Amino acid sequence: MKKFGRYVSHVLITLAKLHQSYPVFTELLEINTSWYLCSYIPHG
């Protein structure tokens, strides 16, 4: 679980760097990522 947290923080840092360069691209990516996570994680 700790490895997953490190992966998430790495992704967030990468997204933040991308966001400075390509705001529109990262907005689309964030929407896709959140949609993927919502469908991947079961809501109980």
For residue 29, with 0-12 CB atoms within 10 Å meaning exposed, 13-18 middle and 19 or more buried, which class applies?
middle
Q: Give tens-digit pLDDT for 8-22.
A: 899 888 878 877 877
pLDDT at 39 (0 to 100): 81
pLDDT at 29 (0 to 100): 80
pLDDT at 24 (0 to 100): 80
